[in-house]
Structures are given as C-alpha cells and as structure tokens.
Structure 1
C-alpha cells in the first residue's frame, strides 16, 4: 500500500503485465479484459497497450515497433472483454505493418495501425533533455495529492506506474489560475519487468495516456475532479526512437500548442534518465468545461 492506502508496487505491476498478456483465440484474434476496479470507461492507455500487444504477437521478434497511430472510437465497457482483430497488412523486407480493431458488443471501440522495423543503422541526433530535478528528490504521487485525496477519485485506483511531478501538480496550480501549457513528470513501472522489448513498449504506451492532457488543463486552470471537466482521448500517436526499459525512470515532458472547438492538442517527449530521447507522443483530446 502507498502512504494513502492505495495499492502499488510489484503486485500491482504484475497485474498490469497480466492485463497485457492477451488470450489468443485464433491466429489473428486476441481477447483482453479490464481490471475489476476500472472507472466507468476503459482507460485509453490500457486499450492502446493491449492492441499493440495483439499487433506485436503477429510480428517476428527481431522487428521492433517504431510507430503507432490510433483512434478512440467509442468508450470501452470495462465489464466485458475486448476482442482484438489483427489485419496483417504487409510483411516487407524491412518493415511490417499491422492494423488492429478492438471490438465490444459487436462494434469497434478502437483502431490502431502500427509499423515494425528490423534493426538498421543510419543518421542519429536528438533534442536534449530539459534540466529537471532527479525523480528521487520529488514527492510521490500519494504525497503530492494527499490534501486532494477526496476530490481526485482516480487517485484511489491501484498504481502500477510511479509518477513524480516536476512541474506543480495541476490540482494545485489551478489555485493560481491559468498557467503555462506544460506538464513534466518522472515515471517508471513500479516494480521489475521482464526483458521482452515489446512489453516495455506496451507499458510505455499505457503510461503515455496518464498525464498528457494535463498540459492543456493547466493552461486553463482546471483539473479532473476539482472542476467540472469532461474529457476523452480522441486519437493517439507514438514514435519510438531508441530502446529503453519502462521499469527505469523516464521524463515525460508534455506541452500543448493549441486548444479550440472543445478539443485540445498535446505533445509529449519521453527521455531516459541518462538524457536519451526514446519516444514522442501526440494526442488530441475532447475537453468540455461545464459551467
């Protein structure tokens, strides 16, 4: 248990790994479930991670995912399984392409296209990591949210990901009014993962949906639970640049270039603790503030 009584650590991470270990029903058909303590809708990062697992299990292990593009079509029902159907679009000499559709109640709730590539050498450069404090010097999520525990309902869900805010947590910064459209957190899987590279990518995909939209909300001085904000992920794209381990610290540096028409765009960069840029994320979210 964390200091606020919420489960965390290796047992909770093991449950996430089990959640990503899909049941194979047929050659290109897989089935996944949601945790018993899910919110009203299936968490978007869970669906993205499971769909990527389904795609990856139809690809030779020597080919690694380098990008994914996805759409959240309908809210997922956490009380019933999700069936993932994989379409083997192309198997080329260097690249492999897969398309996955998540289905519930006979309707598509999620679609994903992913591209995998064999290892190659070539040009190499990357933006530097921002100068931020070390993660171990920052308060845990439980410590940072203690005074807001009753307002932030999602803080009572089990935490497979250890999150440490570098920027002021959005539930606190809202008291100061609108701020810079940026959010920075350190993250890592809260325990030890195996050596399967696909698992680490899928855990990162899961984590990428956790704080990304914070960069939009802080710009307008509002936050989930503390204000009447309705939101949902609309689409999600990721590019994986370099190998990493999701059970080691990574900085998630997020910013929002624009929000309009009840939609907000957020971008994120993942850096390993030694400063390597390992992944880039872009997401558009539906955001409605109820007056």
Structure 2
C-alpha cells in the first residue's frame, strides 16, 4: 500500500494546488445592496460593507469548479474576518447552497458580510461570485472555546486503512482520464466496501465507510484544517445514494450535482491523519438524494458531522432497486 512518503509528482502538485487556493487575497470592501419591493413601491436596503477576497481555481476534467473547493474557500474567507479580532474563535458549523456551476478558468470573488459578533459567537455570510452572479452562498458560525456536556457516537468497527488499497494504488497505472484524476487527488481515500468509480457495488446498501486523509502534512492552523476537511468532505457523501441503486460515477445516463452542504465541527482534528468517514443515505426521492456522514479520528473520537443533499437524476424507468 502506498504511504504519504511515496507521493507521485501528480499528488504533490495536487496538494500544492489545494493549499494555494486556500490562500485568498484581500481586495478591500464593497457595499452590499439588497433591492426589494415594499407594497407597490420599490425600495433599496443597504446592509453595510462586505470584505472581499479573491481565490484561484483548480482545473478539473469537466471544467467546472469542484464543489469542495469553493466550499473550502468560502469557509476560509469567513475565517479571515474572524481570526484576527477574536483569537481562538473557531468555526463550529456551516450551511451552504450550491447555486451555479463554477468556471475553473476564472478566479472566484468572495464577499463576506459580518452578520454579528457576540460575546462568544460570530456569524458570517459569504457569497462566492463569478460572472457577477453567486455560485455558492454560505453561512458560518464561530465560537470561543467552552466547556459543558460532552458525549459522542461510537465509531463503527471496520477494516483498518493500512489493510486497504488507496485510489492511487488502484488507478495510477491505468491509462484513463478519470482513473488518473482519482489517483492524483490531494486526499488519500480507501474504501472499506470497495469503490464505485467504474463498477457498481455488488451489494445494494445505502451505507459505506471511507478512510481519508490529506496526502501531506497540513499546517496546525485550525482554520486551514477546517477548510481542508470541508474540501475532502465533498468527494464521496452522495455515493451511498448511488451504491444503494447500483449506480457508478461513470453512468452517463445519470446527472448528479450537489445542492447543499452542512457541517458541524465538534472537536480538533488533523486532516493529515486518518479519518473515518462513516456515510449513509436515509432517503432518495424526487430526483434528490441525501447523504449523512460522521467523521471519526483513528482513535474513535467524533470530530465532525456532515450532511449533503444532491440532485440525482436518472432516465425514466431506470431508478434502480
């Protein structure tokens, strides 16, 4: 099995790209203007200034920005308006909507509204903008460290990551664009139940477990670590929907896109260390599928809970089991 010390040139480049797109540049501020209608009379309400940042995009085979990228960048943008003024106030939740596909040939601007700064919580809203239109809208909340009640779910017993092949092990030598793209990810993924990249699961279950970690060391900056986890969290959370219905990512008759994404950060973690992503899909209907995931550190500590709903459209009469 491959280890992080034996990275390919493609993997090293992909990790460098990930860390680079998280280094957003400030552009100054802009005035947020909300236009509406009050009865029959048009009104314009100014909600104050927004901090504006710009970030680059990682090229993708389909020329659309990876959802995890814009999610991670949006979280970083909100963090940049909190960290200097409220030391130690870390993200505890985010709620995001994907509204339009992003263009990976263009940079993305992030306009952050400072909604509220309280004694222990801060709330931010950010719009990721291309071509003058939002491609993602995200709200994030930050909290000062606090004590209190403490419990968490138990980690399921699964095969250890050292006993499983990485996607690089499986696909690095296969001459296929998608295989090469999977092998070059900045995150190492190891599937307990086997991947569904090209072939459907032999068992129609709506549950899967994926070990994941960044393929190189990540700075101990907790804001960067939260953004890296947000990035990695978007790779596979809709897969239990596909697995349950015998679908694969290469099914050309199927159309899949993330609609929204929610994360709750519970405890500190290192995305360079192994994390178990325990995933399930409780429901699929109406052309949508829901994925829920719990993220555990290797010692069994629950560090995050994640939910995502996606559009999952299939031709009429082929909706599977």
Partner of 1:54 in structure 2? 77
Partner of 1:42 in structure 2? 65
Q: Which of these two proteins has the greater Rg computed from alpha carbons? A: 2
Runs of 5+ consecutive residues of structure 2 not aligned to the other structure: 30-50
Q: Report if aligned partners of 2:168, 2:184 keep a CA contact under 8 Å in 1.
A: no
Runs of 5+ consecutive residues of structure 1 not aligned to the other structure: none
Q: Report if aligned partners of 2:58, 2:65 keep a CA contact under 8 Å in 1.
A: no
**Residue 220 of structure 2, aligned match among 195, 212, 216:** 195
Distance apart, 1:158 and its partner CA:
3.1
C-alpha change, 1:199 and 1:4, in structure 2 (3 Å) is closer
**Residue 27 of structure 2, aligned match among 17, 25, 28:** 25
Report the RMSD for the aligned CA atoms in angstroms. 2.2
Distance, in Å, in 1 between the alignment partners of 2:24 and 2:71 is 13
1:96 aligns with 2:118: no
Distance apart, 1:225 and its partner CA:
1.3
**Residue 111 of structure 2, aligned match among 85, 89, 113:** 85
The TM-score with structure 2 as length reference comes to: 0.84
**Residue 7 of structure 1, aligned match among 10, 23, 42:** 10
Q: Report if aligned partners of 2:198, 2:249 keep a CA contact under 8 Å in 1.
A: no
Larger RCO of the pair (alpha carbons < 8 Å, separation 6+): 1
Partner of 1:160 in structure 2? 186
Shifted more, 155-164 versus 138-147: the winner is 138-147
The TM-score with structure 1 as length reference comes to: 0.92
C-alpha change, 1:154 and 1:183, in structure 2 (3 Å) is farther
Count of equivalent residues: 288
| C-alpha distance after superposition, 1:234-264 (max 9, x if no partner) | 0000000001111111000110000011100
SS at match of 2:11: coil
| C-alpha distance after superposition, 1:252-280 (max 9, x if no partner) | 01100000111000001100001000000
